[in-house]
């Protein structure tokens, strides 16, 4: 009888592996590019045929990945929307979206992907989920189904490894971020540990599948709670006529017990707005009301309304009609130096301003190349303005939503009529207020 674990270990040692990445988005495509440097072949799978067509032509659809980089890996990378090549893979990694639907986890992408690959699976494969979800997902959605046809830990190996990609952060490259791994059994975890050591500088073993799943949620809930807290403190400080950034500068001089979080226009991206709701939903299922999670989420949602009200207040103060007003949002992506619009605070603010019958809402973002914004919950044509002295002077209020490094802040400061600063880039004065 074949020793599948030994066979896989030899392939890992010799780097004679074929790896399949399911889902070629902001997580899957960077992982594809990393692993292509360390294994024999990488198969990239995605149900979006347009993505596959672009990748086959070495055309990137993610800003931080250029066409030249894609061209470098074309010799050992195969892209397809069909799952037939799953049978050729030694390792299969799920990197599909796990969004929310009506404040509940939507595992349809993961479930459909798992269902699609099942008929192509064979003995001797490693199957890993990197998609974020609540504790027990890997066990319930993957392992329990595999047990009908395989013996996990003997002829097939199952695990979970949370993705930790930080878009726009060039200092924390994907292979330098410590990689947490877990397995259905100890030997599953061991072989997955050995696999990831091929490409990642540091790999950390978790005690269980559930511990690894929970750790990813905890990381992002920690950020969500602290961002919510500091956004609330910003509102309180503003009421006192105080500058929250001045206060933060003083507080962080304490050599222990204080970790700085900066306020902003809410939270965005796939992880931080979504992950807390995953754990809140699961905790509620087992009879626990995670109040901190819900409270921070509420604050981070309400901060958009707070910014909207600042804009309206200053329009009234300047005696400018809402219907005739012109508002410019600086930055559309959810964080600086990337093109990612998932859960964008700017898009949420535009919706609120539209309800107030604002005359014209435009944006400026060097990372967004279109005037037509089409996301899962936003579909609208908006003018993308190039920042100049002349263009800035035409708007009644300029709102700094995303502090891209590419913005010329001197021009913005000097030629804007009025600025609502949501990122703390400017000193407040008679024409600059904190948002």
285 and 167 share one domain: no
Contact (Cβ atoms closer than 8 angstroms) between residue 275 and residue 342: no
Rounded-to-integer distance, Cα 61 and Cα 36, Å: 18
Position 222 scores a pLDDT of 94
Q: Which residues are catalytic?
A: 271
Rounded-to-integer distance, Cα 269 and Cα 408, Å: 25
91 assigned to some structural domain? yes
Rounded-to-integer distance, Cα 53 and Cα 314, Å: 48
- Is residue 67 very low, low, confident or very high in pLDDT (cuts 50, 70, 90)? very high
Domain at 250, CATH number: 3.40.50.720
- Is residue 1 very low, low, confident or very high in pLDDT (cuts 50, 70, 90)? low
Rounded-to-integer distance, Cα 403 and Cα 336, Å: 6
194 assigned to some structural domain? yes
Domain end (from 167, 191, 207): 207
171 and 310 share one domain: no
283 and 334 share one domain: yes
370 and 418 share one domain: yes
Contacts by 362-366 with C-beta closer than 8 Å and gap 24+? 362/326, 362/327, 362/328, 362/329, 362/395, 363/328, 363/329, 363/330, 363/331, 363/332, 364/328, 364/329, 364/330, 364/331, 364/407, 365/330, 365/331, 365/332, 365/333, 365/402, 365/404, 366/404, 366/406, 366/407
143 and 37 share one domain: yes
Rounded-to-integer distance, Cα 252 and Cα 246, Å: 10
Contact (Cβ atoms closer than 8 angstroms) between residue 343 and residue 269: yes
Contacts of 299 (CB under 8 A, 6+ apart): 228, 229, 231, 232
Q: Which helix (H) or strand (E) holds 350?
A: helix 345-355
Average pLDDT over residues 277-285: 87
Rounded-to-integer distance, Cα 209 and Cα 196, Å: 16
Contacts of 163 (CB under 8 A, 6+ apart): 27, 31, 95, 130, 131, 132, 216
pTM of the model: 0.91
99 and 191 share one domain: yes
What's the pLDDT tens digit per position in 334-356? 999 999 898 899 999 999 999 99
257 and 133 share one domain: no
- Is residue 282 very low, low, confident or very high in pLDDT (cuts 50, 70, 90)? confident
Domain range for 180: 4-207
CA pseudo-torsion sign 195, 196, 202, 207: negative
Share of the chain above pLDDT 90, in %: 80
Position 342 scores a pLDDT of 87
Distance of CA 301 to the CA centre of its chain: 17
pLDDT score of 242 more than 70: yes
Task: Return the residue matching tokens 């939903």.
Answer: 281
pLDDT score of 171 more than 80: no
pLDDT score of 375 more than 80: no
178 and 258 share one domain: no
222 assigned to some structural domain? no
292 and 397 share one domain: yes
What's the pLDDT tens digit per position in 181-212? 999 999 999 999 999 999 999 999 999 999 99
pLDDT score of 104 more than 90: no
Average pLDDT over residues 249-269: 93
What's the pLDDT tens digit per position in 396-412? 999 999 999 999 999 99
Rounded-to-integer distance, Cα 332 and Cα 340, Å: 9
227 assigned to some structural domain? no
267 and 374 share one domain: yes
CA pseudo-torsion sign 134, 140, 146, 147: positive
219 assigned to some structural domain? no
24 and 158 share one domain: yes
213 assigned to some structural domain? no
- What's the angle, vertex CA 290, arms to CA 289 and CA 291, rounded to 5? 95
Tell how strand 372-375 and strand 179-183 pair up.
unpaired
Share of the chain above pLDDT 70, in %: 99
Average pLDDT over residues 18-27: 96
163 and 253 share one domain: no
pLDDT score of 130 more than 70: yes
Name the average pLDDT for the chain.
93
pLDDT score of 237 more than 70: yes
271 assigned to some structural domain? yes
Domain end (from 207, 228, 255): 207
Q: How many domains does the chain have?
A: 2
Considering only CA atoms, give the Rg of the chain: 24
Residue of 428 and 93 predicted with greater confidence: 93
In 3D space, the residue among 157, 80, 76 whose CA is nearest the CA of residue 121 turns out to be 157
220 assigned to some structural domain? no
Position 370 scores a pLDDT of 82
């Amino acid at each position: 009888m074949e020793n599948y674990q030994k066979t896989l270990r030899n392939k890992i040692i010799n780097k004679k592996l074929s790896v399949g990445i399911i889902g070629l988005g902001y997580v899957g495509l960077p992982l594809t590019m990393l692993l292509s440097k360390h294994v024999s072949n990488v198969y990239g799978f995605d149900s979006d045929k347009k993505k596959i067509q672009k990748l086959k032509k070495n055309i990137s659809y993610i800003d931080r990945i250029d066409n030249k980089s894609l061209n470098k890996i074309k010799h050992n990378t195969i892209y397809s929307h069909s799952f037939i090549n799953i049978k050729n893979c030694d390792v299969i990694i799920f990197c599909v979206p796990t969004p929310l639907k009506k404040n509940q986890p939507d595992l349809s992408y993961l479930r459909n992907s798992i269902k699609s690959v099942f008929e192509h699976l064979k003995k001797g494969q490693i199957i890993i989920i990197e998609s974020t979800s609540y504790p027990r997902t890997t066990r319930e959605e993957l392992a329990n189904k595999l047990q009908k046809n395989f013996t996990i830990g003997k002829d097939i190996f199952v695990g979970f490894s949370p993705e930790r990609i930080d878009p726009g952060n060039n200092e924390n490259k994907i292979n330098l971020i410590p990689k947490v791994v877990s397995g259905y059994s100890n030997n599953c975890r061991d072989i997955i540990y050995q696999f990831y050591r091929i490409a990642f500088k540091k790999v950390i073993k978790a005690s269980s599948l559930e511990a690894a799943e929970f750790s990813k949620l905890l990381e992002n809930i920690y950020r969500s709670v602290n961002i919510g807290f500091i956004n609330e403190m910003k509102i309180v400080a503003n009421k006192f006529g105080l500058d929250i950034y001045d206060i933060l500068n003083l507080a962080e001089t304490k050599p222990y017990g204080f970790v700085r979080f900066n306020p902003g226009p809410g939270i965005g991206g796939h992880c931080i707005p979504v992950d807390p709701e995953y754990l809140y939903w699961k905790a509620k299922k087992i009879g626990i009301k995670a109040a901190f999670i819900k409270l921070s989420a509420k604050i981070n949602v309400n901060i958009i309304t707070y910014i909207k009200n600042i804009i309206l207040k200053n329009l009234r103060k300047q005696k400018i009609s809402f219907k005739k007003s012109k508002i410019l949002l600086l930055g559309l992506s959810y964080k600086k130096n990337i093109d990612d619009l998932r859960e964008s605070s700017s898009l949420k603010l535009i919706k609120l301003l539209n309800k107030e019958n604002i005359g014209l809402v435009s944006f400026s973002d060097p990372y967004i190349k279109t005037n037509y914004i089409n996301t899962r919950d936003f579909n609208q044509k908006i003018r993308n303005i190039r920042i100049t002295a002349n263009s800035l002077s035409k708007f009644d209020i300029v709102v700094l939503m995303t502090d891209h490094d590419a913005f010329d802040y001197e021009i913005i400061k000097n030629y804007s009529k009025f600025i609502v600063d949501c990122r703390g880039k400017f000193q407040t004065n008679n024409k600059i207020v904190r948002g």
